[in-house]
Amino acid sequence: MMSSFPVDIIRKDFPILNKRVNNNKLVYFDNAATTQKPNIVIDSLSNYYRNYNSNIHRGIHTLAEKATKEFEETRTYVKDFINAKSENEIVFTRGATEGINLISSSYCRGFLKKGDEIIISEMEHHSNIVPWQMISKEMGLKLKTISITKSGEIDLENLKSILTNKTKFLSVVFISNTLGTINPIKEIIKICRNHNIKCLVDGAQASAHTEVDVQDLDCDFYVFSAHKMYGPTGVGVVYGKENLLEKMPPYMGGGEMIKDVSFKETSFNKLPYKFEAGTPNIGDVIGFKESINYINNIGRDNIENYENNLRDYTINKLKEVDGLSVVGTANNKIGIFSFTIDKVHYFDLGLLLDAKGIAIRTGHHCTQPLMEKYHLDGTARLSLALYNTKDEVDYFIESLNKILKK
């Protein structure tokens, strides 16, 4: 499978992969933090600012009409990419973090009351913890957590045990940014449906690596970011079922999200614009369309198969390193590996690998409660993408062994 995937051709699409770092060829293994960008995305950004930079909507001049057309076309691409029913269900944000904040603020204020319960899991990113803590404190809600197993998998029996008739909302990550665990999202959502609980899925790590069909999942909300899937930074998406978004109050006030304004009162715009106050990140949203195009042209099944093979190869190679322990060993996971090495601090390891041109992430990965679960303050993390290769993994292992021998 790996030999049939055109990774050498794909790598030529990413100019930064030709860069040398500390006199070594760059090996970029920090893809869970952000992915690199192909020429098609970079060129799109340049083309926008060079040829039709303009504010969108309401403008009747040529540049405004062109920018509006390209911007709204991205919304259609996103709808199709996740199989939403309508463009009205696609709201652009600055990222998955803002998306979760939008839902926690707007949905909770619109539908929950003091004493109601929200559930998250122990493996959540801070972006899926802090907003719920903030709104819970403000509204007198109760925040509960689902336990995870030692291998880094959600304990479904524990989830069932903490549900009560006051549980109204669940927010859970699709794929852990620290452990790589792919959670049984459909099963979790089914449990929610059986108890009339609304659910949000944090898909930030999933959308570049696996097929996402929000209608098949039957989630109420789904959030993700462009920059985790070869697109620009500063762009995110909230998918929400139209009937829920219609009933939710706006998240921010200002231009674009209004229908009519007077000093007496304001009426709000139709979906999805009700949730898109102010001038959006136009050029980057348009660039996002090209990253979706890029993924679609390669094929998500092809990407998933290649990355799974590379994941399995990496798992076996990591076993060759003395003193290395992988944190999170779920049976169902993507190519994200958090690890520790005996007698070597993760920060030191990150610096020593950087000297060899290898980029990894070190620290708590915005999952401090998860680190506490494993009695750690941080790890090193290697994360794979479609342009990574077996040769790069070999070089990483070789470099790691050389470091440990010193």
What positions carry a catalytic annotation? 366
CA distance 286 to 126: 28
Question: What DSSP letter does each residue of 108-135 carry, written as one string?
Answer: HHHH--TT-EEEEETT--GGGTHHHHHH
Upper half-sphere CA count for residue 101 (Cβ side, 13 Å): 13
What are the residues facing 200 on neighbouring strands? 171, 221
Rounded distance between C-alpha atoms, residue 157 and residue 154, angstroms = 9
CA distances from 129 to 55, 139, 170, 361, 368 (A): 34, 16, 11, 21, 10
- Token readout for 393 is 């993994």
Quote the CA–CA distance of 147 and 153 in Å, as a whole number.
9
CA max distance for the chain? 74
Neighbouring CB atoms inside 10 A of 167's CB total 19
